[in-house]
A and B are shown apart, each in its own frame.
Chain A
Amino acid sequence: MNKISIENLTLHYSDDKESLQNISLGIPANAITVIFGPAGGGKSTLLRVLNRLNDLTDVSFMKGRVLIDNEDILDPRLDVITLRRRVGMVFARPVVLPMSIRQNLTYGLEVAGEKDKSKMDAAIERSLIQAALWDEVRDRLNDPAAALSGGQQQRLCLARVLALEPEVILLDEPTSGLDPISTGKVEESLQELKKTYTIVLVPHSVQQAARAADYAAFFLQGELVEFAQGDKLFTNPTDKRTQDYVEGRFG
């Protein structure tokens, strides 16, 4: 069952930095779909389409459909705010908001108009446990989030998304700046989280892609080269280019 269906999506920026060329792709629910490939291939662009963060950038041309639960999210009449609550995003660099740990976690709920404090407390605990951060910060929720280490900050960013109980979680190289131990913790959490959520991950290395992928899509210069189940794509790719990249011959 596909949670997200991308149909013939083509996109250009006005500065021609990245693009997407006629992408069609089904992203299954409750699995980790890895989108990988060399830099500039359109991975981040695709992620940013999925929660319409691209609205903030200079898109000069866009065509095609993106369906989440059979609803076209590119429809201009769609309520983007609601969409972004359903589709959360974790960025490459951990960006904690300049406030306390607690406020970082409740931010999304508060802007959504949530006022019930007990609900928020429950969300804080649940999301921190899911992001494997609860034990480390439970006693200092009111400390400034900026005081956390890089790895903790990135898990806080993940927890911040989880607090909103989204349906889809997008992760754009979430471990690129982290040490191996923190990376391991994040990857472990993802394996747990996929039971509840649909996860789209842009990994920071082919190794991570191979480790995490239930499904994998290889992107090259804005084109979807190959899409398959993870073990198939990394052991026995159909396309020569995928094989070359996976075996480290370029990129």
Chain B
Amino acid sequence: MKNSLHWREYLITRLFRISGYSAIVFVGMIFFFLLREGLPALGKVEFVSLFSARWYPIEEYFGILPLIGGSLIVTIGATLIAVPFGVGAAIYISEIAPRWMREILKPLVEVLGGLPSVVLGFLGILILSPYLRILLNLPTGLTALAGSLLLGGIAIPTVVSVSEDALDAVPKSYRDAALALGATEWQTIWRVTLPAARSGVLTAVMLGVGRAIGETMAVMMVTGNAAVLPKGLGALFAPARTMTATIAAEMGEVANGSVHYHVLFFIGIILFLISLVVNVTASTVVFRQRKRQERILS
């Protein structure tokens, strides 16, 4: 009996440890398979032409710069929307809204986080882009701007919830102290609470940006998918094509093992590395902040 108990304990512990370490294995495997399928692109397409400005796979032009540019412009647009609105909403929810209001707002933001991006993309095609076309008098509403608006909406729940956590984590005593010194609530928010939650809000912004870069379906459906190298912010009002949309749209039609196939995987490597950098940086910001808090508290 005692022996079997020990064996069971040992076995269970092992199983848990394996599940824990599986996360590392998966990240490794993902990177490995991306490299395995993506690196051959470098051997088949010249480095210079891979980073050129022309993406036209049918004629073997694999310049990925327009795609990187497309991702960039759409993401910048999305960030310009998601950051002020997301952080603003987080401040409102955490600092200003009465309790009952908070109980309504938080689930609503969660609903937005849960809406499939394909549903948003669908509405983007049917409602947003025709509306934008008429409003801005454009030849087509399927533009980087439409993508940015949708992506902004998709990134907002991430920004709101992470910033709200950060604001929540600011000790109440900070606020009380500021208010006791005669600051208005508004001054307290700007000069005390928000600066104290700075690193958490920064994390929120980064994670939101990461979410925007990686989003696929909604962007693919509304940006018009023209692989043009954007020149300046005016490109917001023209069609664009992101890296994610390119993979999603073209992978289904390429022959496995073709140059095109490898190049699409190569784009996957770039996306993987971007998300790696964004998330690792964001998480070290969080870790550092937590350490500092621990030091203050202990």
Residues of A at the B interface (CB closer than 8 Å) are 79, 81-82, 113
Contact = CB atoms under 8 A, between A and B. Distances in A.
B1 interface: yes
A207 B2 CA distance: 44
A79 B5 CA distance: 11
Contacts of A82: 2
B174 to A, nearest CB: 27
A113 B4 CA distance: 12
A83 to B, nearest CB: 12
5 contacts: A79-B2, A81-B2, A81-B5, A82-B2, A113-B1
What 5 pairs between A and B have smallest CB-CB spacing? A113-B1, A79-B2, A81-B5, A82-B2, A81-B2
Contacts of A81: 2, 5
Contacts of A113: 1
A81 to B, nearest CB: 8
A81 B9 CA distance: 12
Nearest to A82: B2
A82 B6 CA distance: 12
A113 B2 CA distance: 10
Interface string B1-26: 11001000000000000000000000
Interface in B77-133: none
B4 to A, nearest CB: 10
Contacts of A79: 2
Contacts of B2: 79, 81-82
A76 B177 CA distance: 52
Nearest to B6: A79
B6 to A, nearest CB: 8
B207 to A, nearest CB: 33
Contacts of B5: 81
A82 B2 CA distance: 10
A99 B74 CA distance: 54
A170 to B, nearest CB: 23
A81 B1 CA distance: 13
Nearest to A111: B5
A113 B8 CA distance: 14
B5 to A, nearest CB: 8
A219 B238 CA distance: 79
Nearest to B9: A81
A79 to B, nearest CB: 7
A13 to B, nearest CB: 14
B117 to A, nearest CB: 40
A29 to B, nearest CB: 26
B206 to A, nearest CB: 33
A81 B2 CA distance: 10
A81 B3 CA distance: 12
B176 to A, nearest CB: 28
A191 to B, nearest CB: 35
B48 to A, nearest CB: 56
A157 to B, nearest CB: 25
Contacts of B1: 113
B276 to A, nearest CB: 33
Interface string B192-226: 00000000000000000000000000000000000
Nearest to A113: B1
Nearest to A79: B2
B3 to A, nearest CB: 10
A113 B1 CA distance: 9
A79 B2 CA distance: 9
A114 to B, nearest CB: 12
